[in-house]
């Protein structure tokens, strides 16, 4: 098969793979953005046992490779406890990968949130208090937007990293774009032993992270209306 | 009757006693200035009045109602503090305006949140909102900021920011308005415009407690002056008494530094 015959077939397969990549990307953000906030509250809690517990969890998650975490989450229930809760199909792998990614990214996000919240001057909270606001009104009406403004640059960094980290789900055979590219080495749809589809996956990551860079840059600009 | 009564208030941070047996009272419509060197406890006293710090001992009464009594656990409940704070307004040295809101929004925010808690808010939402906005615009107008209502704090000068902060505090109609060195973060030119506004409030008989290093202003605007030193009230009286005939050596020493310029 010539390259021009291969291309449409490969393109089609890589698109399917990349759809799975995107799904994992968005599910991770959707889960990790709120979960990270909850974890950050935990680590900032004045109740010591809770803040220590949270900090230990964050240390473990950030201190070990995401790849190992995915392997443990996916294989441990079946191979160690004899109860494969994920099932053997693509849906099960996706679910396991989502759990791993959400937890991992929530821990990184929580530290960014913590920095963002603690970076808001103490005077803002005091101003809210003397105006008779409750703690939650102060958080949502005063602190929150100032936190968002502070965290956009470091969050952008993490989000761009996440685009590429989704490829780690390949380790539990999630059929994302790298998996799709690799399939043409082993043999898939009459194409075998070609390496270029695997290399070509880089273009997907590059384009997608380019789009995100522009969007996140716009968000940063939008928040420039206050200082 | 005194609108504000403070009796035997004391406060320590760790081993450091920052307030020792502070007692004074203030009549409605009068202005009290607190003067003294940095670290003498003036700001801590103001923060105690606003419940940003909790005194270790003593009693605070407003309009005869006991807001705080160190010996009465009923008055120390956290849940009640929020309501009690509303008797006082506080203007900070560093303004502490909310940067993401315009001048108008800064003035309106707290009032709206309070109204939202009332049962009939939903039914009369538009009407209430319009009323709050009208009052906020009037306050900003009074502060000489009618052309600045839609500006964000970073677009305003320090003096304008502080005037927005004063309007924000007035919006909740506190019984007693407190100022914590309101002009210390401003250059001399901007100091004047803020002091003028405070003078205007004094002329309208707004009850105020002002911590300041502006001696000429304190003398001009106050009906009562307290000189604090190392957590104690060293001198208390009319501006004439404190500035012209101080009884303590320490007061003379402190005041001489200002009169020498």
**pLDDT digits over B146-157, tens only?**
999 999 999 999
How many whole angstroms separate alpha carbon B254 and alpha carbon B105?
Answer: 41
Give the strand pairing for B224-229 and B31-35.
parallel
| Tens digits of residue pLDDT in B43-73 | 999 999 999 999 999 999 999 999 999 888 8
- pLDDT for A188 equals 87
Q: Looking at residue B143, what is its pLDDT?
A: 95
CB count, 10 Å around CB of A57?
Answer: 17
Q: Does B179 touch chain A (CB under 8 A)?
A: no
**3-class secondary structure, B138:** helix
Which of A124, A132, A226 is the best residue to mutate to test the B interface, defined by the most B CB atoms within 10 Å of its own CB?
A132
Averaged pLDDT for residues A80-102: 93
Separation in Å, CA of B97 to nearest CA in chain A: 7
SS (H, E, C) chain A: CCHHHHHHHHHHHHHHHHHHHHHHHHHHHHHHHHHHHHHHHHHHCCCHHHHHHHHHHHHHHHHCCHHHHHHHHHHHHHHCCCCCCCCCCHHHHHHHHHHHHHHHHHHHHHHHHHHHHHCCCHHHHHHHHHCCCCHHHHHHHHHHHHHHHHHHHHHHHHHHHHHHHHHHHHHHCCCCHHHHHHHHHHCECCECCCCHHHHHHHHHHHHHHHHHHHHHHHHHHHHHHCC
CA-CA distance, B55 to B59, in Å (whole number)? 9
Chain B residues with CB inside 8 Å of A137's CB? 113
Per the CB < 8 Å rule, is B89 touching A226? no
> What rounded mean pLDDT belongs to chain B?
93
pLDDT, one tens digit per residue, over A31-73 is 999 999 999 999 999 999 999 999 999 999 999 999 999 999 9
State how far residue B110 is from chain A, nearest Cα, in angstroms: 6
Contact residues, chain A, for B167 at CB < 8 Å: none
Q: Cβ contacts (< 8 Å) between B100 and chain A: which residues?
A: 145-146, 149, 225-226
pLDDT band at A193 (very low <50, low <70, confident <90, very high): confident
Nearest CA of chain A to the CA of B20: how many Å?
24
Rounded to 10 deg, the angle between the A48-63 and A90-118 helix axes is: 120
| Closest by Cα among B218, B241, B214, B242 to B229 | B242
| pLDDT value, residue B257 | 83
Q: How confident is the model at residue B260 (pLDDT cuts 50, 70, 90)?
A: low
B192/B115 Cα distance (integer angstroms): 35
Report the gap between the CA of B105 and the closest CA in chain A (Å): 11
**Whole-structure pTM value:** 0.89
Give me the total of CB pairs closer than 8 Å, taking one residue from chain A and one from chain B.
Answer: 61
Determine contact, residues B10/B17, Cβ cutoff 8 Å. Answer: yes
Task: Give me the pLDDT at residue A224, please.
Answer: 94
Contact A226 B99 (CB under 8 A): yes
- Predicted confidence at residue B189, as pLDDT, reads 87
In the sheet that holds B31-35, the strands lie side by side as B88-91, B176-180, B208-211, B31-35, B224-229, B232-237
Mean pLDDT of chain A: 95
Residue B240: is its pLDDT beyond 60? yes
Interval B168-185 mean pLDDT: 96
B residues 41..70 contacting A (CB < 8 A): 50-52
Percent of chain A with pLDDT over 70: 100
Task: Give the pLDDT mean for A112-137.
Answer: 96
Tokens 């995915």 belong to which residue? A70
In chain B, the residue whose alpha carbon lies closest to the alpha carbon of A133 is B110
Quote the pLDDT of residue B73.
Answer: 82
Mutation target vs B (from A46, A122, A123, A127; most B CBs, 10 A cutoff): A127
What local confidence, expressed as pLDDT, does residue B180 receive? 96
Q: Nearest 5°: phi and psi at B53?
A: -125, 150
Selected residue with higher pLDDT from B239 and B76:
B239
How large is the average pLDDT for residues B227-237?
Answer: 94
Residue A71 touches partner B, C-beta closer than 8 Å: no
- Is A226's Cβ below 8 Å from some Cβ in B? yes
Tell me whether residues B100 and A226 touch, CB distance under 8 A: yes
What does the pLDDT read at residue B4?
96
Q: What is the pLDDT of residue A214?
A: 97
pLDDT digits (tens, 9 = 90+) for B68-127: 998 888 887 777 888 999 999 999 999 999 999 999 999 999 999 999 988 888 889 999
- Which of B82, B96, B154 lies at the smallest CB-CB distance from A132? B82
């Amino acid at each position: 098969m010539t390259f021009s015959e291969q291309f449409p077939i490969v393109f089609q397969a890589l698109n399917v793979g990349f759809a799975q990549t995107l799904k994992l990307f968005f599910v991770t953000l959707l889960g990790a953005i709120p979960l990270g906030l909850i974890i950050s509250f935990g680590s900032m809690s004045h109740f010591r046992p809770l803040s220590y517990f949270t900090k230990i969890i964050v240390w473990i998650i950030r201190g070990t490779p995401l790849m190992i975490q995915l392997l443990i989450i996916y294989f441990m229930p079946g191979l160690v406890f004899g109860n494969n809760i994920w099932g053997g199909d693509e849906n099960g792998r996706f679910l396991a990968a989502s759990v791993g990614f959400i937890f991992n990214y929530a821990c990184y996000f929580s530290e960014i949130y913590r920095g963002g919240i603690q970076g808001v001057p103490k005077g803002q909270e005091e101003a809210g208090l003397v105006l008779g606001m409750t703690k939650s009104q102060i958080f949502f009406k005063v602190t929150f937007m100032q936190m968002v403004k502070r965290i956009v640059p470091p969050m952008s960094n993490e989000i761009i990293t996440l685009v590429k980290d989704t490829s780690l789900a390949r380790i539990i055979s999630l059929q994302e774009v790298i998996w799709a590219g690799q399939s043409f080495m082993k043999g898939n749809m009459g194409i075998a032993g070609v390496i270029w589809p695997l290399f070509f996956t880089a273009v997907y990551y590059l384009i997608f992270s380019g789009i995100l860079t522009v969007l996140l840059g716009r968000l940063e600009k939008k928040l420039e209306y206050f200082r | 009757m005194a609108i504000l009564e403070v009796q035997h208030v004391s406060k320590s941070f760790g081993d450091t006693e920052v307030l020792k047996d502070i007692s004074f009272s203030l009549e409605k419509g009068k202005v009290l200035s607190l003067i003294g060197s940095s670290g003498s406890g003036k700001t801590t006293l103001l923060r105690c009045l606003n419940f940003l710090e909790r005194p270790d001992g003593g009693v605070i009464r407003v309009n005869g109602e006991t807001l705080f009594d160190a010996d009465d656990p009923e008055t120390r409940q956290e849940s009640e503090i929020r309501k009690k704070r509303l008797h006082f307004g506080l203007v900070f040295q560093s303004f502490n305006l909310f940067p993401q809101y315009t001048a108008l929004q800064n003035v309106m925010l707290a009032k709206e949140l309070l109204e939202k808690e009332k049962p009939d808010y939903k039914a009369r939402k538009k009407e209430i909102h319009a009323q709050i906005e009208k009052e906020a615009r009037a306050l900003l107008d009074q502060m000489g900021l009618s052309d600045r209502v839609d500006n964000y704090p970073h677009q305003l000068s320090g003096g304008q920011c502080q005037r927005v902060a004063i309007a924000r505090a007035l919006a909740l109609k506190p019984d007693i308005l407190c100022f914590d060195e309101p002009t210390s973060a401003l250059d001399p030119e901007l100091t004047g415009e803020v002091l003028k506004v405070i003078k205007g409030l004094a002329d309208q008989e707004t009850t105020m407690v002002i911590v300041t290093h502006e001696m000429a202003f304190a003398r001009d605007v106050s009906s009562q002056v307290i000189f604090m030193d190392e957590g104690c009230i060293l001198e208390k009286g009319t501006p004439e008494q404190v500035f012209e005939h101080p009884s303590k050596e320490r007061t003379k020493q402190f005041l001489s530094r200002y009169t020498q310029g």
